[in-house]
Structure 1
Amino acid sequence: MTKIDLHLHCTRTPVPRTDKGFVSTAAEVVPHLEELGIEKAVLLSAGETGGMMACNEDLRCICEEDPVHFAWMCNLDPVEPETIRQRLARYKAQGAVGIGELMINRRLDDPLLREIFAAAGELGLPVTFHMSPRVGFGYGVVDDPGLPLLEKTLQDFPDTIFLGHSQPFWIEMSGDAPTDAEGRNAWGQGPVVPGGRVPALFEKYPNLYGDLSANSAGCALMRDPEFGLAFLERYAQRLFFATDMVNTEMVFPLGEWLDRQVAEGRLSRTAYESVCRKNAERVFGL
């Protein structure tokens, strides 16, 4: 079965390679996706204005040019809170299937973010967020250790689907998650200790979903295979295969790991198909 990748980055026009790497064009990405057994990818936006990473308009054009291989999520710049719903409605009308990845570096209880969450629920646009351990630490929405603001957000916006992503989110899979910024921004390692906040929030809030992209999610599942497989089975209807690739040299191990687990009978075919494809079709209409 081919997969749907719910988290990919690319550009419409070539970006010169630098010492920090490069971003592949949509045309360059397609053969790489085929090699990885990925039939379709959802492109995530950097915002409403330009930059090295593609913005809403770039992604809209890419998907109009190649709707077979690509769909897109829109993003917002942190301006004009009074027009948030209008802007999101326009992007949805243009074909956006969600909001992502949301990475405005403000605390989750910030009024602007709450306006986005309210509008997202009204419009039926799931929100994929990148989390940061604190304001001023890189990019991403901000929560404290233990994710108290995320829990309040899930309570306050029950009609909004939230997809957790990045290290400070997935490090909370284990009950011994670190509390310092650097530790929270690391990949999880070793056996999962009971009492993690992510499993607790998944159990309590049906509007919390998971973006399984990058090594943050990959390590959260593969660090303790017995726990990871049980988590996949229990929440199979709310987890999405994804990569977070930005160029054709990137390959994340989770896809191959999932393939091996189902082939060897450790992961059910039902859970595998839901995570790798069917959830994206059902929740995002792909």
Structure 2
Amino acid sequence: MCSSNHLSRREFLAGTGALLLGSTMDVRAAGVTFQEPIIDIHQHVHYAARPDDVLVAHQRAMGITHTILLPAGTPAFGTSTHQGKTNGLQAQCDGNEACYGIAQRYPGEFVFGSNEVPDLPDAVQEIEKYLKLGGRVIGELKFGVDCDSKEMQRIYKLAEEHNVPVLMHWQFQMFNYNFERFPKMLEKYPKVNFIGHAQTWWANIDKGHTDQSILYPKTKVTPGGLTDQLLRDYPNMYGDMSAGSGLLSMTRDEDHAREFLTRHQDKLLYGSDCDDHIGSGEKCQGAQTIAEIRKLAVSKTIERKILYDNAKKLFRIA
């Protein structure tokens, strides 16, 4: 999560709005565009209570041209939400209707996913409702369940039927248990494109990562960890570069990261997962991740794949 750097909300919106409007007018007057498009595959509505207009301005300030909004599930109080403690994706995020609403207000700029707590009795029906309305992804699936449970497999089957990816938050002993068993799911659902995200996913780029309780390792990386293997061996496995864990996967060992980005250039996707209010500077995690990708990609082609091309293809964005 990215800490917020608060200006006066009125000052921020006025300043960025004028800047963006002026930039847009200049581009239109010239009849060309100089902005390289960027797709952010991982954002949330009301993230840490951020207002909707600040979210929109934040994305524009980062230079994002297309944002995928990932909803939370319905508030519930069973084991999968840790008796309600992790409702709202543990970050006050809002649900399906809120994400759908912003996508309707900003067509072409925001699209939405669909989500629900997997062990609720109408989970599949709720997810399918928003897929039929145009949802592009199922997730973020961030619940305290086994990754190969019958409830999760019903969701994977639904993703197969609707030809949409599934984005999963992997966090040891917290969300999507038993990461080591997930290859069986990739094999069982070869037509479903899965996107890995979060601490346990990114920690396991390292073959030497044996203590799964360490969520943010900072040591040098030995290639060949489980995450590295999944990206290499399964055509239906992708990686979401968002959040502190995605950023750390690059900054902890930049020499390894250059090779990793090259090796998996067709499987990696930029996301921010950032609750910042500004959209730039040292406190904006999303902006830092863009800068790190640009720094470490060994060619412009690889940079553009990760920031735009891969997501455009996977999410069928026009």
Question: Which category of TM-score, normalised to the shorter sequence, fits these structures?
Answer: 0.7 to 0.9
199-208 vs 84-93, which moves further? 84-93
- Alpha-carbon distance, 1:195 to partner: 3.0
Contact 1:9-1:54 at 8 Å conserved across structures: yes
Match of 2:198? 166
Q: What SS does the aligned partner of 1:163 have?
A: strand
Q: Which residue type is aligned with residue 315 of structure 2? A: F
Contact 1:41-1:69 at 8 Å conserved across structures: yes
What are the residue-to-residue correspondences of 1:234-253 with 2, within 5 Å?
A: 234-249=263-278, 251-252=284-285, 253=288
Q: What root-mean-square deviation, in Å, do the aligned CA atoms of Structure 1 and Structure 2 show?
A: 2.0
Q: 1:58 aligned to 2:98? A: yes
Deviations 1:196-252, CA, capped at 9 Å, x for gaps: 111111111111100100121111123222221222122212111011012415511
Contact 1:10-1:246 at 8 Å conserved across structures: no
Match for 1:131 among 167, 170, 173?
A: 170
Match of 2:72? 46
- Alpha-carbon distance, 1:26 to partner: 2.5
Q: What SS does the aligned partner of 1:227 have?
A: helix
Distance 1:124 1:178 in 2: 35
- Alpha-carbon distance, 1:180 to partner: 4.3
Q: Which residue type is aligned with residue 171 of structure 1? A: A
Deviations 1:105-135, CA, capped at 9 Å, x for gaps: 111121101111121112111011111211x
Q: 1:34 aligned to 2:63? A: no
- Alpha-carbon distance, 1:86 to partner: 3.9
Contact 2:67-2:109 at 8 Å conserved across structures: yes
47-56 vs 200-209, which moves further? 47-56
Deviations 1:72-94, CA, capped at 9 Å, x for gaps: 1111123455x555443321111
Contact 1:48-1:57 at 8 Å conserved across structures: no
Q: 1:269 aligned to 2:304? A: no
Q: Which residue type is aligned with residue 127 of structure 2? A: L
Structure whose CA Rg is larger: 2
- Alpha-carbon distance, 1:38 to partner: 1.4
- Alpha-carbon distance, 1:23 to partner: 2.6
Q: Which residue type is aligned with residue 101 of structure 2? A: C
- Alpha-carbon distance, 1:175 to partner: 1.1
Match of 2:11? none
94-103 vs 66-75, which moves further? 66-75
Match of 2:8? none
Stretches of structure 1 that go unaligned for 5 or more consecutive residues are 16-21
Match of 1:194? 223
Match for 1:90 among 129, 145, 157?
A: 129
Q: 1:229 aligned to 2:269? A: no
Contact 1:188-1:216 at 8 Å conserved across structures: no
Q: Which residue type is aligned with residue 264 of structure 2? A: Y
Identity %: 26
Contact 2:118-2:155 at 8 Å conserved across structures: no
Stretches of structure 2 that go unaligned for 5 or more consecutive residues are 1-35, 76-86
Distance 1:283 1:91, change over 3 A: same
72-81 vs 276-285, which moves further? 72-81
Match of 2:236? 207
Match of 1:19? none
Match of 2:316? 285
46-55 vs 218-227, which moves further? 46-55
272-281 vs 242-251, which moves further? 242-251
Contact 2:38-2:307 at 8 Å conserved across structures: yes
Distance 2:156 2:204 in 1: 22
Number of residue pairs the alignment of both structures matches: 262
Contact 1:154-1:205 at 8 Å conserved across structures: yes
Distance 1:259 1:180 in 2: 30
Distance 2:295 2:260 in 1: 17
Q: Which residue type is aligned with residue 184 of structure 2? A: K
